[in-house]
């Protein structure tokens, strides 16, 4: 089936001041109306090279409770590994359409592959974004047919990044575990342990003639445990806080960490998944590289038993991760 990619729509639209109606959000969503302008949110920035682990745990726990979002610096991923990840992803999206369509999603491929829509959209509206999904860890779930063959260095850059990002995620999950009074290994174990799936996504947001009317990705919380995101230099992330949408200021070379639904569930609500969305701009392409840490599909996720008692009864159902995903993507109650 021929799919109208946003990249193609953008190239048709660039010399006009309009966009197709399916991209125009309702007034309750339009960024020009709903953003608190002139205020940039400075979310917590945490230095992971901090020698005082107790202080680090406290900072991360506070950010996860009060914000659901934070940035980390001195995280141990070399700048070169991030630069290469960005470079090969950009090269893939600049290939001719026919080359990208070779790894397009199919009904059988599930989430993996090159695509445009992700979830059931209310009223048939579309986000101003194309994307590529593929799993980067563990080896047992990797299917290289969804990894671009071009550029030739794509695989090496992603394998190197996967190795480094696992070290960061292990530390973050340890600190989040300690931050709610558990032992360091317990949060990761409850989320799926060494079977946790690392799902890479590249978001490609082309220049948009009417950024005041469109959104890249609509307001959502991530389904993952945590999301570790690399942005390009173009700002665009917004967070909902105190009844308003705010722009988030990026720190160069930082990783942006989102608390996802599964950590909120495992912590029985002590940590909060962050409600966020992405905007687009007129002059430049915005891109981002989130890695979602997801439980295996058959793994059951619910509040960790040590965090449930008479004063803190269970706030969430325990269910298989695949069932959670199905409900969320199809806008069904959990």
Active-site amino acid positions: 201, 220, 222, 276
Reading the block at residue 264, the tokens are 């909120």
Reading the block at residue 288, the tokens are 């981002």
Helix residue spans in the chain (DSSP H): 6-13, 31-34, 53-66, 79-93, 97-101, 154-179, 186-191, 261-266, 321-329
Is 263 in a helix, a strand, or coil? helix
65 touches 271 (CB < 8 A): yes
> In whole angstroms, what is the distance from residue 131 CA to residue 148 CA?
13
Q: Produce one character per residue of 157-194: b if its CB has 16 or more CB atoms within 10 Å, e if not.
A: bbebbbebbbebbebbbbbbbbbbebebebbbebbbee
- The residues pairing with 132 across neighbouring beta strands, listed in sequence order, are 114, 202
DSSP string covering 9-63? HHHHHTTSS---GGGPPPTTT-HHHHEEEEEEE---EEETT-S-HHHHHHHHHHH
> In whole angstroms, what is the distance from residue 266 CA to residue 307 CA?
8
> In whole angstroms, what is the distance from residue 215 CA to residue 213 CA?
7
């Amino acid at each position: 089936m021929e799919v109208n990619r946003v990249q193609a729509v953008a190239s048709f639209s660039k010399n006009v001041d309009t966009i197709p109606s399916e991209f125009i959000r309702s007034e309750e969503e339009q960024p020009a109306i709903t953003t608190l302008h002139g205020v940039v949110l400075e979310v917590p920035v945490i230095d992971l090279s901090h020698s005082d682990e107790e202080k680090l745990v406290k900072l991360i726990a506070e950010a996860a409770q009060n914000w659901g979002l934070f940035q980390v610096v001195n995280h141990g991923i070399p700048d070169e590994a991030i630069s290469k990840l960005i470079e090969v992803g950009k090269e893939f999206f600049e290939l001719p359409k026919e080359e990208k369509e070779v790894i397009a999603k199919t009904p059988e491929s599930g989430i993996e592959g090159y695509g445009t829509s992700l979830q059931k959209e209310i009223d048939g509206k579309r986000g101003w974004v194309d994307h590529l999904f593929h799993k980067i860890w563990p080896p047992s779930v990797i299917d290289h047919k969804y990894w671009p063959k071009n550029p030739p260095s794509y695989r090496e850059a992603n394998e190197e990044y996967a190795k480094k990002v696992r070290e960061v995620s292990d530390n973050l999950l340890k600190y989040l575990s300690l931050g709610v009074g558990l032992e360091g290994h317990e949060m990761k174990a409850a989320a799926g342990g060494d079977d946790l799936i690392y799902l890479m996504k590249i978001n490609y947001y082309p220049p948009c003639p009417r950024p005041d009317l469109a959104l890249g990705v609509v307001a959502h919380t991530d389904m993952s445990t945590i999301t570790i995101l690399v942005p390009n230099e173009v700002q665009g992330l917004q967070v909902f806080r105190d009844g308003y949408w705010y722009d988030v200021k990026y720190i160069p070379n930082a990783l942006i960490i989102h608390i996802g639904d599964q950590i909120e569930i495992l912590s029985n609500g002590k940590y909060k998944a962050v409600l966020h969305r992405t905007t687009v701009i007129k002059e430049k392409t915005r891109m981002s590289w989130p890695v979602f840490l997801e439980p295996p599909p058959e793994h059951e996720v619910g509040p960790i038993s040590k965090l449930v008692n008479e004063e803190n009864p269970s706030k969430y159902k325990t269910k298989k991760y695949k069932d959670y995903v199905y409900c969320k993507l199809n806008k069904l109650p959990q």
